[in-house]
Structure 1
Amino acid sequence: MSAKPDGAFDHRIAVHGSDEEFVATSVPFLLEGLAADGEPPPLVVTTPAKIDMVRDALGRDHRLVEFVSSADWYDGSAPNTLAKAAGYIAANAGPRGQIHAIAEPDWSGRAGSSSRESAEWVRYEAMLNVLLAPFEVTAMCPYDTRVASPSIVEAALRTHPTSMHGVERRVSTWYENPMALIARLDSTPLPPRPSDAAVVSSDGDVDGFVVAQATAHGLSSVDAGVFSSAVAEVVALARAGLVYAWPVAGASVCEVVSAAGDMDDLLIGFRPPAAAEPAPGQGLWFTRQVCSYVDVRPSDPGWVVRVQS
């Protein structure tokens, strides 16, 4: 069966276990993009070795395709990559977002380095289904079973409405409502806060507190200042509460605990600000861009927001 689910965004997964399978699925996909009326050059993000394979298979047509290595595209956090994708679409895609793109993270690198990192990328894949829904982007995400673990592949199948089987596209029986999946990921309990964590009231000198703590945790003065600004955006949303700080694995962690604040939106801080002056809640976009991790959890009452430099 070949079908496309409702919505403009076409998000496909291509699970493969050999170079031959990768090329056999990727080349027809790119030719589809090259033949599409009004579309800009397709984009391919994958490893250098696979880029060479696709170039060879395309022949002269490879000059009509944009190639970027996974290491260069996925060079930061999942929110960083989300911002990069949004910027690329805005700058290069057609007026309705038309573009064909192949995007494959390097699962032997950061994306697959820990269960925490893998969960960040699963959330990223799920969010694409929501944030790119209005745009006519056609994306294919290869998952190489020689590198990506079975658990990563299984999770990825839940974030793609369609799957590729050779050149045939099928509606996925694994696909899960993206907001339900994100909600489940965001319900995972956070590790307990250390009992000896430093603390200050949000009515106090939070900036000085965060800078001092982050510097003591090994951050440079510049990085400590950026981290303090990121925490300030959270405090502004929370409006009142307590700010805790402690070190972890060469980084600094701050946790804002508040009985107030409006953080019900599962996508808070993930949507790019549409104007020079961000709307309420969009300051968390900055926080997500400059921090390794940002976790938002409901508390009783209020919210807990934990950020890591």
Structure 2
Amino acid sequence: MRSGAPAGRPGFFHEAAFYSSDEEFLAIVAPFLAGGLAAGEPTVAAFNPHLTGLLRAAPGLGGVRFLDGEEHYTRPATAIHRYRGLVAGLVAGGSEQVRVAGEVPHPGVGVPWDWWARYEAVINHAYDELPLWGLCPYDVRICPPDVIAQVRRTHPYVANTAGHHPNPDFADPEEFLRNRPSAWRDPLERTPPRAHLTDPMPAELRAAVIAAGEHSAIPPQDLRGLVLAATEVVTNALVHGAPPVDARVWAAERRVLVTVADAGPGPRSPLVGLRPVRTPTGGLGLWIAHQICAHVDLRHEQGRFTVRLLAGSPEP
């Protein structure tokens, strides 16, 4: 068993922790990081400025590598890519295990949860071969109870002030993703769309998104990213989905929303969008969308597969 890691499975050790005070956060996370340093493991922390400040002031953590958590966790696909690259580089340099603690975004910090729920489930596969021990602490004072319940189902282990324990609530990631309720809707969807297109060619949807951007103050690069993502997604729907393909576009002052739905089953792989994997029903287009949009939601509902793409500032 590798230096203090929970026994029971090789590769990636994925733990959640729940805390209700700064003191409890430190009581769980500081020993975890200190244990990595004592074992000679590269040890990384990725938190918001307040929690980073608490850890920097704690004794014995001078060797921890601190990342800007708010920058690191901008998008799930980006976080996966960065962590895989970080661990691969450290392993290439001779490290046998890497220890990471990080704050995954959630509605309590103003971020929609759906794609981060997918992240927490998918990394059980995406990191499985990595010699990585990851700890994901959640603040129960601000994190909604339904999110906490889903966190319990996506982590094989739970850490607390008494130690590290197998999690009896853990669910198989694919089962979790199939059965997880997904209730996020942007409030814009309760209003008439600026454009509603049936079986549109990619150029038609691109034009509709560009026109909607004229009614929003989102940065030009965000609008260009949304145009590219919408093109990829509607092409996937037309080529790999089933008609009719329904596309809608909304605009507000700080965001533009696009939904694309078709009557097909959608991709089957739980990794789609979060890793650059090819599937019989596409995959790279959704990976591109996850790289450049502010939020992406994939959902099977009422016999249809729907993709939601958001540029600008999402509402949780």
TM-score in same-fold range (> 0.5): yes
2:230 alignment partner in structure 1: 231
State the TM-score, normalizing by the size of structure 1.
0.79
2:289 alignment partner in structure 1: 287
1:296 alignment partner in structure 2: 298
**Does structure 2 conserve the Cα–Cα contact (< 8 Å) formed by 1:70 and 1:106?**
no
1:91 alignment partner in structure 2: 89
User: C-alpha separation between the residues in 2 aligned to 1:70 and 1:212?
Assistant: 34
**Does structure 2 conserve the Cα–Cα contact (< 8 Å) formed by 1:16 and 1:145?**
yes
**Structure 1 gap ranges (5+):** none
User: C-alpha separation between the residues in 2 aligned to 1:178 and 1:259?
Assistant: 25
Query: Deviation string for 1:139-164 (max 9, x for gaps)?
Result: 11222334434443333222211112
State the TM-score, normalizing by the size of structure 2.
0.77
The residue type paired with residue 134 of structure 2 is A
* Partner-residue secondary structure (3-state), 2:299: strand
Deviation at 1:92, TM superposition (A): 3.6
The residue type paired with residue 252 of structure 1 is V
2:242 alignment partner in structure 1: none
* Alpha-carbon spacing, 1:128–1:204, altered in 2? closer, same or farther (3 Å): closer
1:23 alignment partner in structure 2: 26
* Alpha-carbon spacing, 1:214–1:260, altered in 2? closer, same or farther (3 Å): farther
Deviation at 1:301, TM superposition (A): 6.2
Query: Deviation string for 1:107-155 (max 9, x for gaps)?
Result: 6xxx4245x7134333322222121122121011222334434443333
**Structure 2 gap ranges (5+):** 240-244, 312-316
Match of 1:135 among 122, 130, 135: 130
CA RMSD of aligned residues (A): 3.3
**Does structure 2 conserve the Cα–Cα contact (< 8 Å) formed by 1:235 and 1:256?**
yes
* Alpha-carbon spacing, 1:268–1:27, altered in 2? closer, same or farther (3 Å): same
* Alpha-carbon spacing, 1:237–1:15, altered in 2? closer, same or farther (3 Å): same
Match of 1:145 among 140, 146, 160: 140
**Does structure 2 conserve the Cα–Cα contact (< 8 Å) formed by 1:89 and 1:97?**
no
1:199 alignment partner in structure 2: 196
* Alpha-carbon spacing, 1:7–1:235, altered in 2? closer, same or farther (3 Å): farther
The residue type paired with residue 171 of structure 1 is P
1:251 alignment partner in structure 2: 255
Q: How high is the sequence identity, in percent, across the aligned residues? A: 26
User: C-alpha separation between the residues in 2 aligned to 1:297 and 1:146?
Assistant: 29
1:42 alignment partner in structure 2: 43
Aligned pairs for 1:99-118 (under 5 A) are 99-105=98-104, 111-113=107-109, 117-118=112-113
* Alpha-carbon spacing, 1:171–1:250, altered in 2? closer, same or farther (3 Å): same
2:275 alignment partner in structure 1: 271
The residue type paired with residue 283 of structure 1 is G
* Alpha-carbon spacing, 1:243–1:96, altered in 2? closer, same or farther (3 Å): farther
Q: What is the number of equivalent residue pairs in this alignment?
A: 295
Match of 2:16 among 9, 13, 16: 13
**Does structure 2 conserve the Cα–Cα contact (< 8 Å) formed by 1:102 and 1:142?**
yes
Deviation at 1:194, TM superposition (A): 5.1
1:54 alignment partner in structure 2: 55
* Partner-residue secondary structure (3-state), 1:28: helix
Deviation at 1:256, TM superposition (A): 2.1
**Does structure 1 conserve the Cα–Cα contact (< 8 Å) formed by 2:76 and 2:274?**
no
User: C-alpha separation between the residues in 2 aligned to 1:66 and 1:25?
Assistant: 18
2:314 alignment partner in structure 1: none
Match of 2:149 among 154, 176, 196: 154
* Alpha-carbon spacing, 1:280–1:119, altered in 2? closer, same or farther (3 Å): closer
